[in-house]
Structure 1
């Protein structure tokens, strides 16, 4: 089967760390062009805008968008309008409405749109989902705490309106939780901590429930030093489940049940190829909806200014 001709838009940290290595190893894709205001990719044609790239390289079949979410809609709309399949880095957009509009446009043009959630492809996530489906869940705690200076050095866009702040990593936890739980959840209460000099939160405490009254809470914090925490802990009738390392390891009552090497982005590109060849889209906006609900319901608390 011939490889899908792919273009990459936004050659920044996530593109270099994850997308480019995964595309290079993928038998499904051939990278033929890139567009970025600041970065370039060796060995292919490079452009400064997606419009320029689409006009100059008609052989492109699909486009992977890695720019910040505030700027993704225009690029995705241009790519879909030009007849290209589109891969959206997480979060898929700055608002729910724009993602829904892109989904409708893709459907109208018979194209595939992929709202990617890389943490759902962490090695132990499916095992956790299977375990929870086999038992009764009594409560769940999500602890997602990391050091913003380590993972997002000097990235101003994450602190701007639409950049999501601590929900940029927190939405990874929400993407896992919404995938592994057997029923939909909804937010009942939230407190968002905003640095006095920023437009996006640095921490959040959220309470969720479901139709059967599940006790679920989440703690997101971008001020963690030392060991980073990406854990989902569930008390169940079959024991205490700990999904740790951002979904990398699953333990039940302290016994390690599942751990494999991380392959999140290679799996994302495998999935993107699958939906393109099947003529379908994969656009689940549940994690982004929960973020929007947190901003809607959340009580705002202002904290000390944050400086890189």
Structure 2
């Protein structure tokens, strides 16, 4: 059962830069304990929002969906508005927004949210370019609001166990195979073929895990394969290094049949393999138990703890490797892409 805490009561007032910290809902969690839940809105109701964000919020004890900003949402169970400002007027206790729009043109949305005193969470990739994404931390800091630029694959269940296993071992070589079918994961979404995206939409997931395991990884060379009728690559081969350790990555957006998301780490004391996008961990071919939970569940739990604190988590190292690939990559043309192939 939920009961509103009115932000106009004296006990709920704080300084303006922290006014949303206590704009919350209380509810019985079913275990005889009342917990506080922040009001959050989804901005952009596309496939990723429906597949991941909405179910995660529905299951959250710390957050609840208070509204949606979308130009095409219909028959939702919460208020829907065309802009964040309009939604804030409908939902005065709104504390935060989660941006699920395509990465282009997010700056005005972030400016609008921060200007309304809202904390901001951003789906990956954070922006269309690194230089734009670099602005966001300063904007949030000036507004005194929390900002979370997310990399959901870092929260896969096997990533932290793999990092702990790797600590104290000498890594000899690492290989990455990240291959999926764009027709399955982004059906008909033409924005995915805008310059600077393409296969790096999934590829940056691998790079986010890589930079968690091996911070400071550098890119040395790349080959990018572009469909004859598209402005973004459908395949990419990357040559990277962490110190003297060679790292090779093969990305594809044209993988038919079983999808492949694996990372293999060869060390002086065994071989680790992350499978299924970091969801499973194998050490010398034997599967190792990993924590339960979901990537987006951990993202939102982290963001809930950030709300009202002014904390900023905005690591751009995976995005910089993408930019480096476009800067250094040799271009090749391949056959035209068809959604209905």
Shorter-chain TM band = over 0.9
Residue of 126, 151, 155 corresponding to 2:189: 155
Once the two structures are superposed, residues 8-62 of structure 1 have per-residue CA deviations (whole angstroms, 9 ceiling, x without a partner) of: 1101111111101111111111211111122246221101233432344332110
Q: How far apart are the structure 1 equivalents of 2:241 and 2:184?
A: 32
Residue of 217, 220, 226 corresponding to 2:251: 220
Q: How far apart are the structure 1 equivalents of 2:75 and 2:179?
A: 33
Counterparts of residues 52-201 of structure 1 (less than 5 Å): 52-162=86-196, 164-181=197-214, 183-201=215-233
Equivalent position SS for 1:70: coil
Q: Which moved more, 1:271-280 or 1:188-197?
A: 271-280
Distance 1:262 1:224, change over 3 A: farther
Q: How far apart are the structure 1 equivalents of 2:105 and 2:73?
A: 16
TM-score (norm 2): 0.86
CA contact (8 A) 1:12 1:39 kept: no
Equivalent position SS for 2:120: strand
Question: RMSD in angstroms over aligned alpha carbons?
Answer: 1.4
Post-superposition offset of 1:235: 0.8
Give the gaps of 5 or more residues in structure 2: 1-34
Equivalent position SS for 2:104: helix
Post-superposition offset of 1:203: 0.5
Q: 2:282 is matched with which residue? A: 251
TM-score (norm 1): 0.95
Q: 1:17 is matched with which residue? A: 51
Q: Does the alignment pair 1:238 with 2:269?
A: yes
Q: How far apart are the structure 2 equivalents of 1:92 and 1:114?
A: 10
Q: How far apart are the structure 2 equivalents of 1:107 and 1:132?
A: 34
Equivalent position SS for 1:93: coil
CA contact (8 A) 2:119 2:308 kept: no
Residue of 219, 226, 237 corresponding to 1:205: 237
Paired residue total: 305
Q: How far apart are the structure 1 equivalents of 2:129 and 2:40?
A: 26
Q: How far apart are the structure 2 equivalents of 1:37 and 1:241?
A: 45
Give the gaps of 5 or more residues in structure 1: none
Q: How far apart are the structure 1 equivalents of 2:193 and 2:246?
A: 30
